[in-house]
Amino acid sequence: MTNQELQQRILELAPQAVCTESKQYLTAHIPADKLYTVAKQLKESKDTKFDYLFSLTGVDANPALGVVYHLESTELGHCIVLQTMTENREQPMLDSLCDIWKGAELQEREVFDLFGISFNNHPDMRRLFMDDDWQGYPLRKDYVDTINIIDLIK
């Protein structure tokens, strides 16, 4: 499917989505409540068949927190980028995509560990790298750690 057709399909599934096109990929900003349905449709629908999630990245775009998903179809060859944001910095919650793509499980744990975004329906929502009792979320832009981080730029 071309980017135009993908854009149409996204807008059918989530009318409030905002699609932008860059040199490489079509990026679709999806509202958080529609993310799971859009993702599931993109995977299962015969003409999109996005079976390969090759990147799940947490983003701290002050003031919002969110996740960026890079999807590819191994059979049909097209790619798309989905992006979701949530304004809630105290208790950010997004839907988990573990049951759609198994690789999302560990990557969502990483996002939870480093950004604090909690994923609903995740089978094992706990930190991945840091200790279980670590306070704070290291990759956030407002993370302060005077002991471990040496700030060379004042």
If binding means CB under 8 A, how many residues of this protein chain bind another protein? 24
Site string for another protein, 54-93 (x = CB under 8 A): x-----------------x-x--x-x--------------
* Smaller CB separation from another protein, 12 or 54: 54
Residue 45 CA from chain centroid, whole number? 20
- Alpha helices by DSSP H, the chain: 3-13, 35-44, 104-115
Whole-angstrom distance, CA of residue 7 vs CA of residue 22: 13
Structure tokens at 2: 């071309």
**Residue 31 is a binding residue for another protein (CB under 8 A):** no
Q: Which is nearer to another protein, 10 or 100 (by Cβ)? A: 100
Q: Is 147 in the site for another protein (CB under 8 A)?
A: no
Note whether 115 binds another protein by CB under 8 A: no
Q: Does the footprint of another protein cover residue 151 (CB under 8 A)? A: yes
Which pair of structure tokens corresponds to residue 149?
A: 């981080």
CB under 8 Å to 9, separation ≥6 — which residues?
1, 42, 45, 48
Quick one: which of 22, 27, 11, 21 has its CA closest to 59?
27
The residues that touch another protein, with contacts defined as CB under 8 A, are: 23-25, 51-54, 72, 74, 77, 79, 101-103, 106, 128-130, 138-139, 149, 151-153
